[in-house]
Amino acid sequence: MIAVNVKSVLPAAVLAVVVSAAAWAEDNAGPPVSGQELQAKLQYCKTCHGVSGQGYSGASPIPRLAGQQTEYIENQLLAFTDKRRENIYMFNVAHVLSPGMRTALAKHFHDLNAPPSASASKELAPAGKKIFEEGVPEKEVPACASCHGADAKGNGPFPRLAGQSAGYIVRTLTNWDKIRGKDPANPDNSAIMQPVIHGLTPPQIAEVAAYLDYLD
């Protein structure tokens, strides 16, 4: 793994979050959508993300959206649209959404309360809890809780991780450079994760993922 000086990178990354939040506020405008329009779109979303936004933890894990931060959901829909985040399926979904629909979808999923995935090995969870709460000081990796909250439920542009399937977290962190930050000139809040990921080993990623997998 590449050793990265997190202290030198975090200020720029935090600035990226601030800029992203400003962009979100600017784009988060538009007329509200009708209940009928929202339900029609949700029927499509449920195909992959589940009727309760619980996601899917099988061979091709799909993220849990239940309880997710509204600002984060809207930010990511814009990232898919701008191709700053790589996913052909979500690009096809996101680029046709109006600002009002993005807001309505984000609020809908935020208000859902699905159970945690609980699909990972419990034996890995204690080590993952320690990393989440304390970080990895020798690698200058900060505590995950410093951004995602002590309960891992996120805040604003920082996503909820509690209850997310371990498989999805492992796949996402392992492939971060391939799917996130695809437009360095137009970064989103994912920039803050870059030094963190390069400081974690695959076993440590699996441990953190297992801990989050069981959080309610």
User: What are the helix (H) ranges across 69-161?
Assistant: 70-81, 88-94, 99-110, 125-134, 145-148
Q: Which residue has the higher pLDDT, 174 or 27?
A: 174
Asked if residue 43 has pLDDT above 80, the reply is: yes
Asked if residue 6 has pLDDT above 50, the reply is: no
Asked if residue 1 has pLDDT above 60, the reply is: no
3-state SS assignment for residue 116 = coil
Query: Which class for 85: exposed (0-12), middle (13-18), buried (19 or more C-beta within 10 A)?
Result: buried
Distance CA 198, CA 174 (A): 9
* CA 140 to chain centroid: 22
Give Cβ neighbours of residue 36 (< 8 Å, ≥ 6 apart). none
Residue 193 and residue 8 in contact, taking contact as beta carbons nearer than 8 Å? no
Asked if residue 25 has pLDDT above 80, the reply is: no
Using pLDDT thresholds of 50, 70 and 90, give the confidence band for residue 95: very high
Q: Which residue has the higher pLDDT, 26 or 70?
A: 70
Q: Which residue has the higher pLDDT, 12 or 142?
A: 142
Asked if residue 8 has pLDDT above 60, the reply is: no
The label of the residue with tokens 């720029």 reads 12
pLDDT confidence of residue 59: 87
Span 156-193, pLDDT tens digits: 999 999 999 999 999 999 999 999 988 888 887 788 89
pLDDT confidence of residue 9: 44
- Give the start-to-end residue ranges of the domains of the chain: 6-213
Q: Which uninterrupted H or E stretch holds 155?
A: none
Asked if residue 28 has pLDDT above 90, the reply is: no
Using pLDDT thresholds of 50, 70 and 90, give the confidence band for residue 5: very low
Q: CA dihedral defined by 48, 51, 54, 55, rounded to 10 degrees?
A: -10
**pTM of the complete model:** 0.85
Distance CA 31, CA 11 (A): 36
Residue 125 and residue 189 in contact, taking contact as beta carbons nearer than 8 Å? no
**φ and ψ at 158, to 5 degrees?**
-90, 125
Task: Match domain 6-213 to its CATH number in 1.10.3720.10, 1.10.760.10, 1.10.260.40, 3.50.70.10.
Answer: 1.10.760.10
pLDDT confidence of residue 27: 52
Span 65-87, pLDDT tens digits: 999 999 999 999 999 999 999 99
Span 112-155, pLDDT tens digits: 999 999 999 999 999 999 999 999 999 999 999 999 999 999 99
Give Cβ neighbours of residue 85 (< 8 Å, ≥ 6 apart). 76, 79, 179, 180, 182, 188, 190
- Which DSSP letter does residue 95 get? T
Using pLDDT thresholds of 50, 70 and 90, give the confidence band for residue 215: very high
DSSP string, 167-188: HHHHHHHHTHHHHS---TTS--
